[in-house]
Amino acid sequence: MPPFFQPVIDRIAADIATAPGRGRPADYIPALAEADPQRFGMAVAELDGTVYGVGDWQQPFSAQSITKVFTLALVLSLEGETLWEHVGREPSGNPFNSLVQLEYEHGIPRNPFINAGALVVTDRLHRLTGNASGALQEFLRAESSNPLLDFDERVTASETAHGDRNAALAHFIASYGNITTPVPELLHQYFRQCAAEASCADLARAAGFLARHGIRADGSVLLSRSKAKQVNAVMLTCGTYDAAGDFAYRVGLPGKSGVGGGIIAVVPGRCSLCVWSPGLDERGNSVAGVAALDRFTTLTGLSVF
Ligand code: GLN
């Protein structure tokens, strides 16, 4: 097949370069505040792992909440439906780090992609594997074909030093018995997870199992077709927090953002994508990243709708 995607993403990069407004890098994690909002990269991975890229597509950045997709997939593969007794799958309509729903919903977070839900997922992964961040690293290295993929311990330390809100979430959930790993250990695992450094090429490839209906890069089954559909559905409805409605409207794909400025997106049965630009909007999603994915689905007609 001719490289259908390359001219499309080249055109998007040219459009983005002249688009006004880039947002601002996350500053509540000091190590992320230094990122340059003018950086932009985009990669598209075919089902066989062939990657097309443009701009800063090979530049590693802080994956942050994008990792929540991978920990969710690992826990679903290991323990299946039991997970849904501990975390919901409804959009929260609240910011990603909000505490407000947790009390009246008895310590069961709305979904696995807000911080509260991700802490529960990481707790379960840690109990299932004995080393949640290690399991994530092994998975990301294998799926991205990048054996050097690693955590940025400087980001882990920065987030640990400014992690009061996540600590509050974890202690509060633990008070309901919905987290059982000791909170300091859980936070260490979670902050390391968020500090995974990966490029657009790495993350587009790593998300490939969701485009292949649950099949890993080596051909083995991580998730059944039905479970892969479930993960994609939760990404569509909850992956960009309280902007998930607007993201579905503009992009029309399952997607997951992170405050490092990355967003992964999936066209089931066709390809997986990752865009990166560190400037965020007020909901914590990359401004240029959402714009680029919006252009991608408009130009190609590839969407789940
Ligand atoms: N590490 C970040 C946090 O816990 C992840 C948030 C995000 O990427 N939306 O605050």
Residue 241 has a pLDDT of 87
Å from CA of 220 to ligand 1 middle: 30
What is the average pLDDT across 76-97?
Answer: 94
Residue 94 has a pLDDT of 85
Domain annotation covers residue 268: yes
Domain annotation covers residue 112: yes
Question: For a substitution probing ligand 1, which of 166, 259, 263, 290 has the most ligand atoms within 8 Å of its CB?
Answer: 259
Domain annotation covers residue 305: no
Across the chain, mean pLDDT equals 96
DSSP assignments along the chain, one per residue: ---THHHHHHHHHHHHHH-S---B---SSHHHHT--TT--EEEEEETTS-EEEEESTT--EE-GGGHHHHHHHHHHHHHGGGGGGTS--S---S-TT--HHHHHTTT--S-TTSHHHHHHHHHHHHHHHS-HHHHHHHHHHHHHT-TT-EE-HHHHHHHHHT-HHHHHHHHHHHHTTS--S-HHHHHHHHHHHHTEEE-HHHHHHHTHHHHTTTB-TTS-BSS-HHHHHHHHHHHHHHTTGGGHHHHHHHT-S-EEE-TTSEEEEEETTTEEEEEE---B-TTS-BHHHHHHHHHHHHHH--S--
Domain annotation covers residue 295: yes
Domain annotation covers residue 293: yes
**pLDDT tens profile 90-130:** 998 888 888 899 999 999 999 999 999 999 999 999 999 99
Domain annotation covers residue 69: yes
CB of 156 closer than 6 angstroms to any ligand 1 atom: no
Domain annotation covers residue 236: yes
CB of 46 closer than 6 angstroms to any ligand 1 atom: no
| Residue 256 belongs to domain spanning | 5-300
Residues annotated as catalytic (active site), given as ranges: 65, 68, 190, 241, 259
Count how many domains the chain has.
Answer: 1
CB of 96 closer than 6 angstroms to any ligand 1 atom: yes
CB of 297 closer than 6 angstroms to any ligand 1 atom: no
User: For the domain that residue 56 is a member of, what is the CATH number?
Assistant: 3.40.710.10
**Which atom of ligand 1 is closest in space to residue 28's alpha carbon?**
10
**pLDDT tens profile 13-72:** 999 999 888 999 998 889 899 899 999 999 999 999 999 999 999 999 999 999 999 999
**pLDDT tens profile 172-222:** 999 999 999 999 999 999 999 999 999 999 999 999 999 999 999 999 999
Domain annotation covers residue 9: yes
CB of 98 closer than 6 angstroms to any ligand 1 atom: no
